[in-house]
Every structure is written in C-alpha cells, then in structure tokens.
C-alpha cells in the first residue's frame, strides 16, 4: 500500500507515502530539516501509516539518535543505552514527546534492525497528547522498516508501538 518514489538529489532520497493519499510531505517538515540540519538533505521521508505524522531523516555513523520535534521546537538526543534508562545522552529524563520514538528505536535495534545513529525531524497534524505521541512511535517504526527495506504492514506497526506503550512507556 506504500508507493516509494526515488527523487533526484545528491544522495539516495526515498519518499514513502500511502499510494491512495496523493499528498506531499508538509513544506514545514522540509523547511525544519533544512533549518535544523544545515547543509544536509534528508535521505528518508516517511509518513506514519494512517496518521498525519511525518519524519525526515538521515542515517549517521555516530551512536546517537537526534530527534527534533518541529511542532514543539525541541530536540532530544539519546543513545540506545541512555534510551533504555529513559534518559538523554547527558542523563536527563527523556521528554515525554520523545519516549515513543526512543522506545521504538530501542526495541527495533534489539530485534535486529540495528542502526548506529539517526538525525531526524518530525512534524505532525495530530492533536497534541496521547494520539500525537503514539503517532510519533508509528512514524519512527515506519522509518526504521523503510531504512532497512524490510516488509511491514499497518497491523504490525500498531502492534509494535502498542508493545512499546505497554513495556516501555508504562501507565
């Protein structure tokens, strides 16, 4: 159900959007990426399945994950080790909005979809709150599978993020 389009640029650039949707990523996603990661172009742009949540990202060889939430104008940086402790790389508590992405990244890396690091920008048109946070988890799960070129479906991603909610986020 996803249409993948290879767009010309300096490097690989994948755009994955639902084929029946026909919309383009929000310009504010691309603008925020350009503003936050000056001089870099995203390698991957994905939309969370069934949600108005978008992620633009590049892979990185450093063992750090950097997520910039343009809707909040906030950034969180963590490693896999610090994410397991629900902390940033400087041992501060992870912001609430970054917990779903951190949980998804930790779980997928532990399940064999390993990446050294990622620099990402996320924007959404979801109402802020639990739905927004869950959608961020879906967006990062979609991103991980797209980066690895692994097959996935909506039910699988929702199950993964639900497991993260239950096992990582807690109540």
pLDDT, residue 1, reads 35
pLDDT, residue 3, reads 37
* Contact indicator for 99, 169 with CB cutoff of 8 Å: yes
pLDDT, residue 5, reads 38
pLDDT, residue 49, reads 87
Distance CA 11, CA 33 (A): 16
Rounded to two decimals, the pTM is 0.84
Q: Pick the residue with more confidence: 105 or 170?
A: 105
Q: What percent of the chain is predicted at pLDDT more than 90?
A: 65
Residue 18 has pLDDT above 80, yes or no: no
Residue 122 has pLDDT above 90, yes or no: yes
- What does the mean pLDDT of the chain come to? 85
Per-residue pLDDT tens for 87-98? 999 999 999 999
CATH number of 2-169: 3.30.230.10
DSSP 8-state class, residue 81: H
Q: Pick the residue with more confidence: 170 or 88?
A: 88
Mean pLDDT of 116-129: 91
Per-residue pLDDT tens for 32-73? 999 999 989 999 999 998 899 999 999 988 899 999 999 999
């Amino acid at each position: 159900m996803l249409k993948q389009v290879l767009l010309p640029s300096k490097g690989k650039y994948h755009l994955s959007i639902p084929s029946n949707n026909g919309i383009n990523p929000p310009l504010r996603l691309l603008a925020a990426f350009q503003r936050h990661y000056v001089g870099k172009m995203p390698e991957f742009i994905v939309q969370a399945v069934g949600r108005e949540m978008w992620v633009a990202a590049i892979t990185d060889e450093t063992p750090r994950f950097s997520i910039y939430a343009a809707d909040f104008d906030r950034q969180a940086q963590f490693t896999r080790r610090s994410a397991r402790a629900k902390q940033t790389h400087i041992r501060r508590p992870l912001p609430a909005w970054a917990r779903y992405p951190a949980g998804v990244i930790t779980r997928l890396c532990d399940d064999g979809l390993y990446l050294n690091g990622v620099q990402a920008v996320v924007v959404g048109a979801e109402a802020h709150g639990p739905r927004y946070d869950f959608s961020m988890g879906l967006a990062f799960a979609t991103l991980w599978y797209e980066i690895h070129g692994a097959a996935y479906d909506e039910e699988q991603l929702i199950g993964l993020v639900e497991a993260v909610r239950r096992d990582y986020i807690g109540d």
